[in-house]
Structure 1
Amino acid sequence: MNLTIKNYHNNTAPKSTYDVLIENQQDGTVKAILLGLPDCQGSGNTETEAIEQLSQTLLTRL
């Protein structure tokens, strides 16, 4: 499993920056996890899809 930590800038709140853990799963999918809120995550076929799903999850939660 490859792990990457990235800073993600949310376009709806330009002053907010989130640390996101990107995990490449064994089945070929990608999981994005918001650090500090491990239950706030998204997944997809690409890193972009996973981050978009994570963003939607975060917006719903806020």
Structure 2
Amino acid sequence: MKIAAKSTYDLLIKSQTDRTLKAALLSLPECQGIGNTETEAIEALDQIFQVRLGNARIMTL
């Protein structure tokens, strides 16, 4: 089950020296995904972020 805590997140997409791409959440820079394409990197990041959220929620006050 995916957690839809927020509809948009700011990402940083950066090329790595090994020709892969790294996607990182700007608000949580330790959450990063790496892939051969931008889509792969974002999908990897999404999986890591979902695990990190676990049963938590993001709220705005």
Normalised to the residue count of structure 1, the TM-score between the two structures is: 0.75
Select the structure that is richer in strand.
Answer: 1
Structure 2 counterpart SS, 1:26: coil
8 Å Cα contact 2:3-2:50 kept in structure 1:
no
1:27 and 2:12 correspond: no
Moved over 2 A (4+): 11-15
Instruction: Report matched runs for 1:1-62 at 5 Å.
Output: 13=4, 15-62=6-53
How many residues were matched structurally?
52
Say what the alpha-carbon RMSD is for the aligned residues: 1.8
Unaligned runs of 5+ in 2: 54-61
Larger Rg: 2
- Distance in structure 2 (CA, Å) of the matches to 1:46 and 1:14: 25
Unaligned runs of 5+ in 1: 1-10
